[in-house]
C-alpha cells in the first residue's frame, strides 16, 4: 500500500477517535460523531481502506488507547453493551465505500447505519439481557433523527472533498 494511503487510513482512524470525544451523554449509548467519520472513511477512502481505517480505530481502543466515547478503551469496553456499535464501524465503512463507488452514496450511508445499529442492538440485547425490540427501542430508535443529520453533514463534506479531488476513485 502506498504511504499516502496509509496516512489517510490513519487519519480517518484518528478522526473517528476525535468524534468519540464529542459526547452527549445518553443511556445506554452516548451520542457521538464516530459514525459520521465512519461514513466519510468509506466514501472518501473506498471500501478496503475505509474498512482498514475503522479496524485501526477499533484496534487502537482494544489495545488500551482511550479512543472510545468519553475516553473509554479496552476489550472490556468492546464486550460491553455499546461495543457492538464500535465493532460495526468496520463493515459499515466497507459497505459505505462500496456503495459510494457505485454512485449510491446516500444508500450506502443508510445501509452502513443499519449495519451499525444491527451490531449494536444485537450486542446490547445479549449483554443487557433484553428482547431485540427492547434493545432497538433504547439502542437505535432515539438515535435515528441525529444519525440522519450526521448523514446530511457527511454527504456535504463528501461532496466538497470530491470536488477538491480528495476522494479516491
pLDDT at position 169: 64
**Residue 31: beta bridge partners?**
24
Closest CA to 124 of 115, 132, 116, 113: 132
pLDDT band at residue 4 using 50, 70 and 90 as cut-offs: confident
pTM: 0.91
Q: Distance between CA atoms of 60 and 57, rounded to whole angstroms?
A: 5
The CATH label, of 2.60.40.10, 3.40.470.10, 3.20.20.70, 1.10.1760.20, for the domain at 3-163 is 1.10.1760.20
Domain ranges for the chain, please list them.
3-163
The 10s digit of each residue's pLDDT in 69-90 is 888 999 999 999 999 999 999 9
Amino acid at each position: 500500500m502506498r504511504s499516502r494511503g496509509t496516512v489517510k487510513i490513519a487519519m480517518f482512524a484518528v478522526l473517528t477517535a476525535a468524534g468519540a470525544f464529542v459526547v452527549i451523554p445518553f443511556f445506554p449509548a452516548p451520542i457521538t460523531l464516530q459514525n459520521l467519520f465512519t461514513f466519510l472513511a468509506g466514501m472518501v477512502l473506498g471500501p478496503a481502506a475505509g474498512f482498514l481505517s475503522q479496524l485501526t480505530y477499533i484496534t487502537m481502543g482494544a489495545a488500551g488507547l482511550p479512543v472510545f466515547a468519553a475516553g473509554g478503551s479496552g476489550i472490556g469496553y468492546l464486550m460491553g453493551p455499546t461495543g457492538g456499535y464500535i465493532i460495526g464501524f468496520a463493515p459499515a465503512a466497507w459497505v459505505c465505500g462500496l456503495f459510494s463507488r457505485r454512485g449510491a452514496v446516500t444508500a450506502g450511508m443508510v445501509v452502513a447505519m443499519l449495519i451499525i445499529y444491527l451490531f449494536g442492538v444485537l450486542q446490547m440485547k445479549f449483554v443487557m439481557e433484553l428482547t431485540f425490540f427492547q434493545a432497538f427501542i433504547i439502542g437505535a430508535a432515539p438515535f435515528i433523527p441525529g444519525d440522519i443529520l450526521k448523514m446530511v453533514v457527511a454527504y456535504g463534506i463528501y461532496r466538497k472533498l470530491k470536488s477538491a479531488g480528495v476522494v479516491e476513485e
